[in-house]
Amino acid sequence: MTMQGQWFGFLEGSTPGHVVLDIDEISGRYSGTALFVPTDSSLPSTAALIETEVNDPIKVTSAIFAVNEADRSFISPADFMASNPEIIHPEEAIIELMTHNGDLAARYTTGTPETGIGEAAGILSQQRCPEKSSYAPETALSWNEYKIKVSEFAPEDYVWRGQTEPWSLQTSFHRSGRVNLHRYVFDDIPRLQAALLPHTATFLNLSNPLLSGGLYSLAQHHGYPTPILDWTYSPYVAAFFALHALPKSPDRADSVARIFAFHRKAWPQESNPITHLSFARPHVTFTDLVPLENNRALPQQALAMVSTVPNIEEFVRFRERETQKTFLSAFDLPWSERDRALRDLRTMGITAATMFPGIDGTCKELRDRYFD
């Protein structure tokens, strides 16, 4: 069994708390991060980088750092104790991990007999994302029934997402099998920034949160894996994306396209989600990104969902159970409704030409209209 993936759990011991462990397997090595959040709110969250050969069990000594909750930056133990002299923050931890009946047994040990030994242990469970969505509508709707249904939703409260099939909600970054966002932020994104410099008119300054968000938007727009999922403010734009790529006469007459509605207004938000990717507490957050060199964002009425978890739907269900609120709803449209819906959407000005400004979108719109 591999330790690759994202793991959650609670550790009991001298300093108990929750832990999030993100591990990628790269060329025979595990490269990952651990974020420990103590139950004692007077203590800081603690982060560790894990680099070791692929083994089971593993035992590694890692430097550990306090995490600044404001910007997710590291604070050295010395700097932290200078500001908090009443708290002793160890400089390293011995981290032990072992697979156990599909889960992960985890233990950490810090300190010395002179300074005092700290330790805690527990079982971590993995975040896995199924192929199909765990949300199911009561029944598939006709196009006319869908229009009636969406009229009942307050437009300022909800955002929408259309998919050709009822797949689980998951970002392209997590679909790649990767989970270590620290590696992504500090290795992959600077590499992408350097490679894009000859092709963009804007200098992609990663220290500027506005331009950093623009880079993620640009990468998402051009197919680079990101921890972003695209949504729209319009239920009709969502319907277009659910249906437009389907064949005119689908062979799978019983197949359905999926449209999600998300109660964005009621959803608890994380501040600065793009800058809070590395060593972030698990979160799913909506944000407006600067549409850097992307003329599709405005007509698509686009909005970004940023996720640090592989299984978005399970995270949403957890919040729904916790708050006794419904955040996510699902609607299915039969593929057989495709032509009827697209004709109607065309009268609303929602076509391939308007959704994808440029030569490709225009040619596709004319092909749809006169050849399909």
Q: Pick the closest to residue 296 from 355, 210, 369, 216 (CA basis).
A: 355
Per-residue pLDDT reduced to its tens digit, 183-197: 999 999 999 999 988
Quick check: 246 pLDDT over 70?
yes
CA–CA dist 178, 154 (Å, integer): 36
Buried b (16+ CB within 10 A) or exposed e, 178-215: bbbbbbbbeebbeebbeebeeeeeeebeeeeeebbbbb
Say which residues have a Cβ less than 8 Å from residue 102's Cβ, sequence separation at least 6. 1, 126
- Residue range 259-267: average pLDDT? 97
Percent of the chain with pLDDT over 90: 65
- Which tokens is 246 given? 């389907």
Mean residue pLDDT across the chain? 91
- Residue range 218-224: average pLDDT? 90
Q: Where are the domains of the chain?
A: 5-126, 143-370
Quick check: 336 pLDDT over 70?
yes
Q: Pick the closest to residue 281 from 20, 7, 8 (CA basis).
A: 20
Query: Could you name the CATH architecture of 5-126?
Result: Beta Barrel (2.40)
Per-residue pLDDT reduced to its tens digit, 341-350: 999 999 999 9
Whether 228 contacts 305, CB under 8 Å: yes
Quick check: 365 pLDDT over 90?
no
Per-residue pLDDT reduced to its tens digit, 302-321: 999 999 999 999 999 999 99
Q: What is the pLDDT of residue 372?
A: 67
Burial class (CB in 10 A: 0-12, 13-18, 19+), 85: exposed
Angle at 258 between CA 257 and CA 263, to 5 degrees: 160
